[in-house]
Structure 1
Amino acid sequence: MRNQSFMPRAIKPLIIMVFLTLIFFVVHSSTNFLARYTHQTVELKDNINIDYRYFIDKKPSASPEKMLELLQQFIPEDAKNIPYQLADQTYWVLGKYLNNSNQTEAFVLHIDNAMLDVLEVYELDQFLNITQVFNLKDFTQNNEILTFPHFSFELTPFQDKRFFIKLKTYGPPEIPINLYKIQAFNDNLQASIALYGAFVSCIVLMALYNLVLYLSIKDKVYICYLTYLVSTFLTVTSLNGFGYLLFGYELQQWLQSHIIQVNIMIIISLLLFTSYFLQYDQEDSWVAKTSSTLCIALGIIGIGLSYTDLIFQAKVFFSIQPFFYLYAIFIIAQKLTTTFTWARFYFISWLPFLGGAAIQPLALLNIIESSFWTNHAFLIGVMVETTFMAFALGERMRMSEQQKIATLTYHEDTKILKSLNLENRIKQLRMQGETDFAVLAIEPEQINVVSLYVENYEVNDLYKSIEQGLNSLFLYNDNVESLIQGKQKICVDEMGTIYLLFKQKQEEEITVFIESILRKFKEIYRVKNVNFPLSATVGIALNKNNELKTESLMQHAKYAIEQAKKRQLPWLYYQHESHKKDAYLLDLAADMIKAYNNNEFELLHQPQVDLKTLKVCGSEVLLRWTKADGTIVPNDVFIPLAIDVGLIKQISYWVFKQALKQQQEIIESGYHSHLISVNMTNKDVTEPNFYNFINDTINQMKVAPEHIVIELTNPSKLITNPNALANMKNINALGLTLSVDDFGEGDSNISHISKLPCQELKLDNKLIESLLSLPKQQKIIKGTIKIAKMLGIEVVAEGIESQEEELQLRELGCDIGQGYFYTQPLPLPQYLKWLEDNRLGLNR
């Protein structure tokens, strides 16, 4: 916990410094801007008459001389109302400027578009002679003119001048033509640079802020926002022409030619950021998957558009852009209406961003009137948005830290304390010198059964009611230690075991205390509006002079529960001697895991003989584990142990793969019709991916499915399991044979067999043992075989130990036999030799 809280404390001063610096830059830049930007474009009140006419040339560019011939077709219009469109066409503007004053005036004609392909200015004298006075292509080394395309001229008293202005752009179609006096233009230029400087400051500060957070927390949300900041910076820089000042001509030209791809990157980073910021990626939600899919689609669109011209790219982009912003707003609103009320700053930050993202393109597309403010709307919107985002990220970090603490402290679904709190409290007591206490573990008995029939939330509600009941029982009992501040005195581990800490370890006191707990559990709880009495088993572990680790103390209490259940007692103290008895199995489990990892298991083959022809038709593989000291561990010992320690799946899958590998060798040795039978547990068959494993292994080993038999036990447990039934049907469809093993033992019967898609049953050897001595047994076996034949099921008898048993089974109609009468189980090399000796029939 100490390490987890260190990071936020260390970053707090940095966050405060970033915020203060950011606010200072924004306020300072805005103040300067408002102070400086007081001059407007030249108007009639300044004793200047301005007249504009325009002509749109949709053909390949013509010369100014050609335009003179079309002068009658020029349309009079204010410069701000010229209908620029997103199209491949050239605009010719004829501007007439008349100085009505008696003073010489100097002017600047500013063509406010930094993405011009053509800007040429021609002066017309009174005799209509044409002289070129400006060509933008002559200024590729003048970054200021490239950023702010303009040219200067003077008007003497009462002089007028006429200029042909040739304009063409593959970027934003709006091309504002503004006439300034020198000082006004300089003020406008400085205001633009100051505003851009403030924007760069915001971007750099926020980028550093997010980079520091990412390096500290490793949360990808900060990388996404960092990508957004870089993309936004490149968009504004290239769109407003400041790239000429920062990067130079070539790089700025490249950025302008890929402006749509950069804008697409803004949307991609925003979508990913929104998904991560609102933690959709931590949920199994359609939003996270949809956002990722949309980002991939956008990336593909961006790459595809890069092979088309900019005009087509812009038309496609601006047609799809609103959809993605609406989608982002929708997923934000969805969180605001559910759990993420703390995301309000993030929601607010979208308002200036969307305002700028909408206003500036509308101005650039000549849908709304162009002005200084509309031309910088996106830049200003991003500045305001980053300010709110700083608060949003800070708020998110604060809430995330609280969530981490809550996650470590409480179970997410029930809000009950985790067992980690008990460990911490025990350590605190020991540090304080306390030794006189006991750990009690409580296991509710019926909850595991109840959970099979109700939803998870109902099980959680049941645990909540138990927690409330126990906490109320212990509320005024000072012998029950509070685990955290407040009155919470119980905790639950991941397996559902309840723990508490009792400060007195005298047996009389603990006995009375436990009886009160058990009485509490017998109270009526409600599940699905049904009264449900619970019971519990309690295990107690006494702390003896702090000689045990905290974890061991809790484990002993839980082990005492298992011992109590074995003895059918309601509660029990941990007993070291009882625990010691199970040490052998624990050591055996450890040895078994090592044996599996070291590939020390072995397969043996027990032949199966066709009782009609007395020829070998296949073999059942049997697993054998021989320890390093030569001890053979019986299967009925280590198989249940493998199930208990969770290794049975790996062992079963290993057996199946090894069996198919050995089947390959048998077939390659010339026994092409040989069948291999492999035992699989019910746990294997109920696994959802069991069929996929079988299918993949068969394809990998290239063994024909019709040469494989899978043997199963306890059919009654498979009938009601949908996963098992689906797997068995798929395995049948694949061509494998399903066999029911140990028929006649336990709960297996013909009724169960008829409900399963099996093609074979194996009579248990206990049936065969009394075949010759009990006439009733013969009738049972005969009846079983007869019914099996009616169902189209083949019958195998295992445990044949004599020729008399073989003859009797053949007369009863049994199909296949196996047992020690033929041979004991053999390793593969010896089995291959035995097969060779009996190739033409059993060698007796």
Structure 2
Amino acid sequence: MELRTLRYHAIAVAILVLIFFIISTLASNLVVPTRYTIDKTAPVYLDYAYYIDETKSLTFNDVITQPQLLTHQKFSEIPWSFTQQNYWLFLDLENKSFKKENVVAHFDNPMVDHLTIFRLNKNNQLMDTYKLGDKEQALTLFQYSVPHIRFSLESKSSQRLVMKINTIGISKTPVNLYRDKEFIDLVRSQTGIWGIFVGVLLMAALYNLVLYFGIKDRVYLIYIGYIISAIILMGAVLGFGFYLWPMEWQLFIHEKIVLGNYGVAFFTLSFCIMFLRYHKEKCWRYKMSTALLKLMFVLAVSSLFIPENIAAPIFFGVMSLLYIACIILIYNKLRSGFRWAKFYVFSWVPLIFGAAIQPMELTGLLPYSFTTRHAFLMAILCEVILMAMALADRVRYQRERALYHATHTQQTKLLNSAKLKQTFMELQAKNRSTTLCLIKIRHFNSLNTIITPSQGYALIKHIARELELELSHEREFINLDTNLNTIPRLADLNSGVFACISTKTQNQEMLEALLTKVISNLPKQYEIKGLNLQLNYSIGISCAGKTNDFEYWLKRGYLALKKAKSSVNQVGLSSNVNNQMMDVSLAAKLQKAIKTNQLALYYQPQINLLNNQVIGAEALLRWPDPTFNNLPIEELVILAEHTGIINELTLWVIEQACKDIAELTKNGYINHTISVNLSAKNLTINNLAEKVENILIKYQVPARLLKFELTESAFVESQDALIKLVDELSALDINVVLDDFGTGYASLNYLVNYHFSELKIDKSFVFDLPNNPTHQVIVQTAIDMAHNLNLSITIEGVETQEIHHLLKDMNADSAQGYLYAKALPYTDYLHFLKSQYSLKMLDSSF
């Protein structure tokens, strides 16, 4: 990373730290007042009782003279509901101190219609009467927004507060008593939170209004609509709306609060539709969402004429439909790869929790507190911020999309020559080797005369996928783009020509051989409407010098392709159709060999470096038939993968290994383990862990004696499937080994995310270990790290006694290599175990 970029990142981190410092300081000054009610800060004792008058007919005298009607429980136990009924709350106060207490009673429901408070002495004689509520006249804004009364409680005296709540809609009215200081803290905290909420939302609305005039995207107007509806709703529920609107407006909002709830829900769904661009698709999800919007609009209008206690339950039912619809919309986009929707998805987390807390607190399912009272407000604040981030991410995505179109072909969505040129220039600036490798579908232009353009593009994409897979196994081909979820090494130059760049310094013959192997594994047939097109490929190689420009470099590559038409011995190479026939024939014979048990497993021993005893072996596939025993096993495995028989082959290997483990156990080797290699293609085996378990049961083999070795190719294919498989194998007590550790790009992440029991160091670090200090540091570090993570470690490729001694000094656990033995057939391996001749010779040399 450039120094300038690092400096800017450091500045950004410093700003982030400052912001969090300000937030933490502000939060520490916004106390939680409900923890400091007067019964917790003074020797004032409270006694609670209540009565629910379902008939709404009892008067104050009726209730006072019939104490048997009262239920003596705390107000938190009152079964609040939307039913129209009167609530009579009794609160007895006894001041046991020797000083007078000035008390503030706070009634935390600014939407209550009529709240009458009767203050009585200990003889039930009326001392004072107070009237609060949004239907009362001549109250101050402060009394409307924060309903409260003030009175004094003399020393060694008692008083009673009798409160009558008569309202339509939200009836729950928490009552808290404070001293003056704590009440001031309450007002300060509420005012601070309200100010932050309104300030942030208004600034977000103004900013997005500016964006709308600049970008002309309707989604910004809908976002502003959501912000305004949220301010209206929370201003009514929490009381600060009296400071935002004229009194008449706010009282109307209180009376029609369900309309405000519908407004938030309406804009929530509208934003989801517009932000995720469903209005461009007109699919069934869009039609479902618009139908729900119409339903909400009708119900919102109806709520103007329906009592709140009826309209509110209907709204809560509609809310469940809203959540279902939004989940469907979001899930579909995430599944289709809508990368820039992540912040919008995150914005739903606080909304879901906050929206759930509010009705649960209002209905008594959650205890009332300052936190739960403001949870929905904070949830909306977080959601608005995340939605703003989502909109910003959307703009960034649109900018990236413009860049994407500039560097990708429109029809195939593959990288184009512009991206190839950019990569070439970057490599040239770093003085790195750049060899252009062109691979062409032969006679592609002729094919275009008999197939449609769309069929031609489909063919190119099909070959490109297969070619990318082949190139992913060869690390010398550089990634042309690292900003996407995939890491493409291939560019589409049109007319069936693909390009990649080799950065390895090597002779031409080696590169020709590698590319020949790559194209030999590409599809040789492609079916279009029942026609099997026979496919052949040509290769062109162009090496660039320091003075080459891109056009000259590319032109030489095309000239090499031209030469390939007439000769396979020049720089340009053409594929041979006979190779395809040979591959098909070989694959058929391999499949037959699997079914007729003509394959074999050879075993290379693994040695415990502490006592030089054999503790296990790695199972290696062989084809003993003289006709095929010279075939490279790696190519055989690739052939099996490409022809779809790799899973069949793997299951055969696992079963044969378990058979041999059972035989070894009978021969007295009860702790001898066998390791089997798994490839990425094996992840497609249905219920692999279950099938392995059945094989273990079939041959009565302890699971701890079977190991599976996984290489990085398996991790790249499917992370989720692999995590599940490793967990399932670990649950069976099967040890899972991370093979070829150190050769991949993200091996350390694998140690965090997977339940490995062992690491296996690749032999590339071992061959020159005594003379390579760098490799010594890498191997020693890997050993120490494995031990610190409670993992064992095996070193492969040990060929000399010097390496053996060095690894032993490094405290490696085990090793394998030609020094101890090459891979042996089972019978020979059994003789080796009985004699352990090689190990005795090794011991004698110490």
Q: TM-score, normalised by structure 2?
A: 0.50
Q: TM-score, normalised by structure 1?
A: 0.50
